[in-house]
Amino acid sequence: MELGNIIIGAVLVAVFVVPFMFAGRNSKNRKKQMLSSLRAIANQHNSNVSIHEFCSDFVIGMDELKNFVFFYKKREDKDLENYIDLSEIKSCRVHILRREGVKGTDKVIDKVDLSFTPYDKTKKVIDLEFYNTDVSSVLNGELEAVEKWGKLISDRLAPQNKLNRAS
C-alpha cells in the first residue's frame, strides 16, 4: 500500500515540477542566444558589451569604454538590431505613448521607447522599442528598464554635452 502511495506521489511531483524545469531551461537558452546576438552586434563595431540587461523579449547593453549602446529584440516576424554611438547623440529621453482607457479615467500604455536625438539635424531620431501593445499585451518590467537605461545614458551624455557647448 505504501509503495503505491510513493509511486503516486512521485508521479504527481514529476507532473508539477518537470514543466517548470523545462521553462527555466528554455528561458536560460533564450537569454544566452539573445546575449550572443547582442555581442555579435558589438563585435561588428569592434566593441564589447560591458553591461547589459534582459527584459522580456529584448536585451540592451553598453560598451562603457567606447560609449556605444547595443540593442537586440527577438520578434516572431524579424529580429531588431541596433547600435548607437553616443558621441553622435545630443540627448536621450524616455518616450511613453499613453491613451485613455475604457472608463476614460484610466491611462493605457501603448508604447515605450528610448529615443536618441543626434547632433546632426539631418539624421533621424533613433527609437529603441522596449514595449508595443501591438506585439505584447502585458508590460513585464519594460517601464523600469527604460527608466533605468534612460537615466544611465543621459548621465553619460551630460558631460559630453557640456564639452560640446563650451566648444
What does DSSP say about strands 126-132 and 51-55: parallel, antiparallel, or unpaired?
unpaired
pLDDT of residue 166: 52
Q: Report how far residue 165's alpha carbon sits from residue 105's, in angstroms, rounded to the nearest whole number.
A: 43
- The segment with the largest mean pLDDT, out of 1-5, 52-56, 60-64, 155-159, is 60-64
pLDDT of residue 135: 84
Q: Report how far residue 162's alpha carbon sits from residue 167's, in angstroms, rounded to the nearest whole number.
A: 9
| Mean pLDDT, rounded, of the chain | 85
Whether residue 20 has pLDDT greater than 70:
no
The whole-model pTM stands at 0.79
**46-58, pLDDT tens digit by residue?**
999 999 999 888 9
Q: Report how far residue 34's alpha carbon sits from residue 55's, in angstroms, rounded to the nearest whole number.
A: 11
pLDDT of residue 61: 97
Whether residue 12 has pLDDT greater than 70:
no
